[in-house]
Structure 1
Amino acid sequence: MLREAMYTTIQTLFDKGYNKTQIAEMLEIDRGTVRNVLKKIENGEEIKRKNVASILDPYKEIIHIKIQQELSAMRIYQDISEETGYTGSYDTIKKYVKKYKDSNSRVYMVNTTLPGEEAQVDFGYVGKIPNPSGDIKKAWVFCMILSYSRLMYCEIVFNQEVRTFIKCHENAFRYFGGVTETVKIDNLKAAILEANFYEPIYQREYEAFNKYYGFLSIPCRVRTPTDKAKIESGVKYVKNNFFKGRSFNSYEEYKKGLSNWLENRCNSRIHGTTKRIPKEVFQEKEKQTLRSINPKGYDFGIWTTRKVNVNCHISYDSNFYSVPYKNIGEDVTLKISDKLIKIYSHYELIATHIKIEGKGLFSTNNIHYPEYKVKTKTQLQYEYRQKMLEIGPSALEFFDKVLDKNQNHWGKPIYGVLKLKDKFGSDIVEKACKRALAFGSIKYQTLKNICEKGIYEQPTDTGVSLISKAENDIHRPLSEYANLLSLKEVR
């Protein structure tokens, strides 16, 4: 199939008076090809451009993902060369990345929200000011804005750590009197560990915090100002309208001044976009839609990881705490607070324990074990008694005598009897139990010999007393046991 340019060349030469043979010789193509092209042109057929495969076709999906991760063209080239065996040039990657970015950066949608649906948060650097101790330190302003009413909360901070970030959230919720359904956050290190729009890895403490207050946090895409336009404008406004050109002598003066500015200027002016006063819109339409605040503040803790041992416990501070048996061998996450230890698996709470005072102690919840591991002695006795009853009345009597003789070590012999049933059948084991009981024996080995040697049908009436005359002694004399175990015929 010829390229579009070749069709145009053939038509141009033909229009200039060259015949088919001359055109074929000039272009070094077959004369029949020239004839077919001229025929298509004469019939008015549309000449379509041939779709030429690109060396990037197998890699475009990967390239798109890496562009979303804000990787440079050089980094994308290096990654796909190492990971996929791409053999093309860097320039090809560079041109495609530029073309893709240009084609996806022109159109934006207006993000509208319902009352109580969304808040946006961000930090803005405001220079060096006095901290509560009087030292001059770098400072930021934390801002949260309600996307519907544009009501805003601001607070001066001196770091962007997780605890500060969460405390600012709580203060904002109390200022608004409630919690929105979602909070849109910038890709701050305090909340987001990896800036990936599709699978953000939330900072563990912040993830626990938003679950505690019942809101969903949504990270903004990197370098996409339209995702957080409201808070971008809000931070810019507070920096230019309050901080710029103002200087106070102490942190308390800054704090008081910012509070007055929020109340009397920021939230009381006619907003430039909505053309309404944020405070009025909030009172009329948004305040009642907010979710109620948890009256007890969020409990910060220490986070660490432990591996679940085969005994269904993890170790912390020389004490042991149980975990569901299905998590054996797994690395789980612990949140340690003053009184509680909460254990998580992939952000799901799987166990809670009261923190133990002391060393070498266990906190065990029996539901963390398999059911068969936590049955009571009575339950086990009942289950095995029913199994022996299914064999027959003599087997049941055998069980009762074994249990009566030794309350704590009846399990192994009875388990052995049930294994004999699996091998020989209930009928033979029932007869073997009857014969062993007739000779006063309640030993598993006696039953096994009777079954294996097939003497369960032999008579038991020998005219000789088989039971020792000693009071409460159900065993036969040793000579008679010897005869029984050696399987000599009893006459």
Structure 2
Amino acid sequence: MKGWIMFNKIKTLKEQNLKITQIARILNSDVRTIKKYWNMSSEEFELLRTQYKQRIVGRKMDIYEQLILSWLKEFNDISGAQVFDWLKEREQDFSMAERTVRSYVEKLRKKYELPKLKVSRQFLAVPETDIGEQAQVDMGQINLLTEDKKTKKLHLFTMVLSFSRYKFAIWQDKPFTSNDIVQCHHKAFEFFGGVPKTIVYDQDKTMFVTENLGDIIKTDLFQKYINTMNFKVHLCRAFDPQSKGKIEAVVKFVKNNFAKHRVFTNIDDFNELCLDWLKRTGNAKEHSIIKKIPEEMFHLEKEHLQQVPPFLFAKEESNSNIVPYSLSKDNTVTYKSNRYQLPKETYSDKQKEVGVVCEDNQITFFNLKTKESINTYEISKDKGKLISNISRNTTPDPKVLELKSKILNRYSNKNLIIQYIENIEILKKRYIKSQLKRIDSLSTEYDKEIFLNAIKECISKDNFDLDFLAKLLNNTKKNTESEPSLQNIPDKLKNIVTETRELSEYEEKLVKLC
């Protein structure tokens, strides 16, 4: 089977009106090969190559047919990926691709009518809990459009009493923190007028650090809250949503029945509308499982809930209102579509977040560890702006100052040099150090007067390219070298007076020689 290169060569030579025998000689190929592809189209050639590959692959895989077949018969749910792994385990030099093996396994299943066993998980209905015994908690998210047609992500906290199916829901326009979760719990308990004995949770990082083989490690704030509220925690296993199916259904109900297709204005109005919905629909509609109205059942369950203890430290925590926000590497914090500039070097490997407090139309940024204020701005009503009150003036580079001083000290007429360097700083500020180094080198290489004249010409022609300055200096040097001048005589020889003799002395000597 020939490749595309040979096929294209044949077609190209054919277009040049060469005969089959001529092409065979040029390509050093058999005449029958040229005839085979003479009238074949590109599509037919591709189909032929595909069929050829399949035959080759099939023949290569056929040596494993009986082995794979035995595995399929013994393990009717085995996957093609596992067959591939077993073949590689048996033969270290096994070179077939995984996709090829999976296709071959599927072919054998069809050929020998060995469909793969589909394992479906079976569930049992969870028995109803005792009255006042349990609640379930979960969180969700939804994206809504705002009035200006932008997308806003909202975060949902829900709690449901398992016996009565009485629901509580509250929304936030930023991700939940541990402190937010505690506050949401407290608002739920105040809404219910009591605390259940046990609450069922997912493994959420705002509340739980790790499951630790049953010894659940909670965040410090949440552990303190649990101790004060006196309820037990039941943590679901990972990837097992069925163990808290009641709250899963509530999250979907709140999102789809209340939030979906609403236009978001602000979080306070949204939560007020949600409470109205709970009263109107969420807790007033007959439940499809228990066939009773949650609000009516709640009147029975409320009497069996534990009393809500006072939680003083929760108020202390909330009074600070410090919310963690991510700090970018350019020392900016994004808040309501604007970026607020913090001082340089606020960001570090140890500080990638700052605290944010918004009060009286002002936003203040804090160090989360020391609680010290970093900067304060008025909250901007614009969108997509960089808000900054930080001066960008930087301390001059000591090396730059040293180079300037070194160059200027060579000349009595410093004004021309200063004017030239100032223009260089304006035009090439980022490269000022390297520019000054070259000016320093040129100023030591050439005579002072020549250098100053070249600088003066650069300024008059408004050209501050150092290559232009170097070219002027070089041309001046060539001209002075071609014309004899005292400038070419070393200083120590300029004041020497040569001795002269009378012409008669030379005449007398010539007479004697003759």
Q: TM-score, normalised by structure 1?
A: 0.38
Q: TM-score, normalised by structure 2?
A: 0.36
Bigger proportion of residues as helix: 2
Larger radius of gyration: 2
